[in-house]
Structure 1
Amino acid sequence: MDVQKVDMFIMSNAKFFESHQVNVIRERLISIDDAKWRYISTLQLKDPTTSLIVSILAGGIGIDRFLIGDTGLGIGKLLTCGGFGFWAIIDWFLIQKATKEKNMQKIQQFLY
């Protein structure tokens, strides 16, 4: 794979992943073939900052968890009104990391 193309991908998408994962992703992207590159370049990754904003505004009803694809947790938050408010507040601190983990899971489907 073209290193320049990989570096451009990393520069524009590094905020979607944990910092310690970026080098691993870069190395794997360099070694993949062009057929997989087409799929990776069109991936729709979730923005952790958007998830945090949604969590602050509507986390009490689970919208933040639905947004990142955690349907079960979203239903749990919805039925308990955000764990009676406690779960919603805790998610303000955890939702960005959970979003980055979901993004990593999504890209790993094509890297391995």
Structure 2
Amino acid sequence: MDSQKVDMYLMTNAKFFSPAHINFIRERLLAADDSKWGLINSVDVKDPTTVLIVSIFVGYLGIDRFMIGDTGLGIGKLLTGGGCGIWALVDWFLIQDATRQKNMEKLQMYL
């Protein structure tokens, strides 16, 4: 792919991925075929800040975990009331990293 396209993609979407993954993503995008560009742009990535806000307000219902695709953990949080609030509180610190990791997993399916 064109390095200008790749750099623009990374500038626009860097907040959705862990800083440790940015160089890996850049290398994989540069090596990718141009025919994959449409698929890569259509990957549904979640904003970690939005998921954190949802986690703060309704995290005890597991909605934050459902949003990022962790259905099993979402059901667990829903049935236990966020682990009586403890699990919900811990997720306030972990959910952004979990969101970035899920975004990376989604992107890797197309790279």
Alignment of 1:23-102 (within 5 A): 23-102=23-102
Q: Which structure 1 residue ranges, 4+ long, deviate > 6 Å from structure 2?
A: none
| Gapped regions of structure 2 (runs ≥ 5) | none
User: Offset at 1:42?
Assistant: 1.5
Percent of aligned pairs with the same amino acid: 65
User: Offset at 1:2?
Assistant: 0.6
> Deviations for 1:38-91, whole angstroms, at most 9, x for unmatched residues?
100111210000010000000011010001010000000000000000000000
Q: How many residues align?
A: 111
Q: 1: distance between equivalents of 2:19 and 2:36?
A: 23
| Gapped regions of structure 1 (runs ≥ 5) | none
Q: TM-score, normalised by structure 2?
A: 0.98
| SS of equivalent to 1:46 | coil
Q: TM-score, normalised by structure 1?
A: 0.97
Match of 1:84, as an amino acid? C
User: Offset at 1:104?
Assistant: 0.3
